[in-house]
């Protein structure tokens, strides 16, 4: 009898074409789910007969309570090598092996600039106006050259974002709790003395920090109040770093020029959610990691992980 593998959240129907799943055909039946299961009850029902689950990034929390309801589960494969929503202790206690995959930081770098440029030049508004016979030229673009880009985080994503900013002729500053002068000099940017200085001085602020106890709620009402009324905020990192209610208040109050957001407190974003209709907001449905190259890596290595597990030698084990 073949094992059963469930691939979650394949919204675009891209998973079947992103890897050679036929390599598993003799031993594993693969089922692709193109809808999101919003709670543990729905997940437990959908995965009741799953021996293997492939989950995308950190979208589905595998808490102890869910793992306990999946008695057949033996292998959990998550894309990326860092996942904060899997209870590893519970997985071990229930005999579940957890593996990850490689993940490129290039796609979120590119999306960061897509959002920033889209905001700065009013791309969506102008395109919609043109296609609906609206006004010809209704916005005045914000310049990048000579303006200051402030980066919260200068790691594997923040660093390349900084270098692109420099190529645009921007002045680039960075801050994080662990940022050293040497790292800032290596990238060629100014190390801000404080988070407050960076926020107050920047024309564009982009978030590139890992979510943790020190960064959760890092930008709240007081911090957003430091931004210039002409400033733009970009977040392609983690939603919980920016207080969502405070951001909505700033957008509705016109206290900042706009925001580009790719991450949300609840994903997928529910119908009627206020982030869907907020003014001055350019929003995308968590596309940061979504690219053909990344999907080829995620699903291709997921197949490899399953093969290695079946051979008795699991690879890329987490944590």
Catalytic residues: 238, 267, 286
- Supply 39's token pair: 């709670």
Task: Looking at the chain, list the stretches that DSSP marks H as alpha helix, in order from N- to C-terminal side.
Answer: 40-46, 64-67, 88-93, 106-120, 123-131, 158-167, 181-187, 195-201, 221-224, 244-252, 292-310
Query: H or E stretch including 99?
Result: strand 97-99
Read off the DSSP letter of residue 97: E
CA dist., res. 263 & res. 241, Å (int):
10
CA distance 251 to 236: 17
- Residue 126 makes CB contacts below 8 A (sequence gap 6+) with 137, 138, 139
Q: Which of 208, 187, 250, 179 is nearest to 113 (CA)?
A: 208
- Cα gap 274→245, rounded to integer Å: 9
Q: Please state whether the peptide bond connecting residue 268 to the residue before it is cis, i.e. omega within 30 degrees of 0.
A: yes
Note the Cα 135 to chain centre separation in Å.
Answer: 34
* Alpha-carbon dihedral 46, 291, 80, 217, rounded to 10 degrees: -90
């Amino acid at each position: 009898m073949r094992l059963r593998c469930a691939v979650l959240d394949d919204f675009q129907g891209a998973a079947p074409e992103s890897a050679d799943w036929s390599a598993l055909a003799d031993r594993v039946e693969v089922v692709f789910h193109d809808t999101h299961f919003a709670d543990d009850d729905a997940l437990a029902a959908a995965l009741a007969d799953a021996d293997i689950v492939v989950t995308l990034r950190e979208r589905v929390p595998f808490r102890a309570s869910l793992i306990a309801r999946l008695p057949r589960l033996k292998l959990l494969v998550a894309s990326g090598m860092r996942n904060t929503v899997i209870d590893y202790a519970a997985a071990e206690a229930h005999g579940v092996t957890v593996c990850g995959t490689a993940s490129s930081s290039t796609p979120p770098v590119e999306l960061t600039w897509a959002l920033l440029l889209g905001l700065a030049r009013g791309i969506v508004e102008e395109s919609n106006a043109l296609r609906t016979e609206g006004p010809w030229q209704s916005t005045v673009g914000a310049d990048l050259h000579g303006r200051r880009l402030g980066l919260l985080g200068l790691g594997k994503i923040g660093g390349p974002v900084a270098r692109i900013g420099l190529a645009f002729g921007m002045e680039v500053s960075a801050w994080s709790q662990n940022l050293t002068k040497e790292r800032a000099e290596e990238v060629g940017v100014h190390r801000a003395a404080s988070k407050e200085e960076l926020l107050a001085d920047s024309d564009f602020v982009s978030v590139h920090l890992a979510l943790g106890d020190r960064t959760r709620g890092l930008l709240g009402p007081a911090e957003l109040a430091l931004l210039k009324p002409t400033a733009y905020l970009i977040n392609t990192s983690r939603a919980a770093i920016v207080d969502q209610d405070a951001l909505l208040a700033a957008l509705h109050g016109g206290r900042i020029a706009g925001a580009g957001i790719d991450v949300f407190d609840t994903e997928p974003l529910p119908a009627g959610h206020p982030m869907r209709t907020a003014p001055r907001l350019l929003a995308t449905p968590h596309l940061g990691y979504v690219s053909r190259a990344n999907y080829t890596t995620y699903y291709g290595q997921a197949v490899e992980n399953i093969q290695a597990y079946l051979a008795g030698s699991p690879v890329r084990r987490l944590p």
